[in-house]
A and B are shown apart, each in its own frame.
Chain A
Amino acid sequence: MTHATDGLRVARAGPLALLQDAGRFGVRRLGVTQGGPADLHGWAWANQLAGNAWGTPALEVTFGGLELVAEQDLVVAVAGADLSATLDGEPLDGWRSLSVKAGQRLAFGAPVNGLRAYLAVAGGFAAAPVLGSVACVVREGLGGHDGLGHRLAEGDALRVTPRCADAGRVAPREAQVDYRRPAELALLPGAQVGEFSGESLFQAFNAPWRVDDRADRMGVRLSGPRLDCRMASMISEGIGLGAVQVPPDGQPIALLNDRQTIGGYPRLGALSPLACSRLAQCLPGQEVRLKAVATEQALAAYQSFRAVFA
Chain B
Amino acid sequence: MSTPFPQGLPRLEPAGLDGWMVRLFDAIDEANMPWLTALVRECETAFGDRLVDLVPSYTTVLVTFDPLRLSPDEARRWLIELLQRLQPDEEAADAPVKELPVWYDASVGPELARLAELAGMSCEEVVACHSERSYRVFALGFAPGFAFMGSVDARLEAPRLDTPRRRVPAGSVAVAGRQTAAYPAVTPGGWNLIGRTPAVLFDRDREGFSLLQVGDRVRFVPIERSEFERLGGDTRPMEEGR
Q: Known contacts being A237-B58, A238-B60, A238-B61, is A25 close to B15, with CB within 8 Å?
A: no
B145–A130 touching, CB < 8 Å: no
A235 and B27 CA atoms in complex are apart in Å by 8
**Contact between chains at B14 and A140 (CB < 8 Å):** no
Asked if A102 is an interface residue, CB under 8 A from chain B, the answer is no
> What total of chain A residues lie within 8 Å of the partner, measured CB to CB?
42
Q: How far is the CA of A234 from the CA of B17 in the complex (A)?
A: 22
Min CB–CB distance A77 → chain B (angstroms): 23
B109 within 8 A of A: no
For B22-45 the 0/1 string (1 means CB < 8 A from A) is 010001100000000000100000
Provide the B63-80 mask, 1 if CB < 8 A to any CB of A, else 0: 010011001100000000
Are A30 and B62 also in contact (CB < 8 A) when A188-B16, A303-B68 are? no
Known interface pairs A27-B209, A29-B40. Does A190 touch B72 (Cβ–Cβ under 8 Å)?
Answer: no
Decide yes or no whether A164 CB sits under 8 A from chain B. no
CB pair A261 B209 closer than 8 Å: no
Closest A residue, CB atoms, query B210: A30
When the two chains form their complex, are residues B53 and A29 in contact, meaning their CB atoms are under 8 A apart?
A: yes
Q: Tell me, in angstroms, the Cα distance from A270 to B72 when the chains sit together.
A: 14
Q: B55–A28 contact, CB under 8 A? A: yes
CB distance from A13 to the nearest CB of B (A): 23
- The distance in angstroms between the C-alpha atoms of A298 and B139, with both chains bound, is 30
User: Which A234-268 residues have a C-beta within 8 angstroms of B?
Assistant: 235-243, 260-263
Give every chain B residue within 8 A of A28 (Cβ-Cβ). 53-55, 64
CA distance A190 to B143 in the complex (A): 25
11 pairs across A/B with beta carbons < 8 Å? A28-B54, A28-B55, A29-B40, A30-B213, A191-B21, A237-B21, A237-B58, A238-B61, A240-B15, A240-B64, A299-B67
Binding site for B on A (CB under 8 A): 25-32, 34, 130-131, 139-142, 188-191, 235-243, 260-263, 269-270, 272-273, 295, 298-299, 302-303, 306
Q: Report B's interface with A, CB cutoff 8 A.
A: 13-19, 21, 23, 27-28, 40, 52-62, 64, 67-68, 71-72, 139-146, 148, 185, 202, 204, 209-210, 213-214
Which 6 pairs, one residue from A and one from B, show the smallest C-beta to C-beta distance?
A238-B62, A238-B55, A191-B13, A270-B16, A262-B141, A31-B140
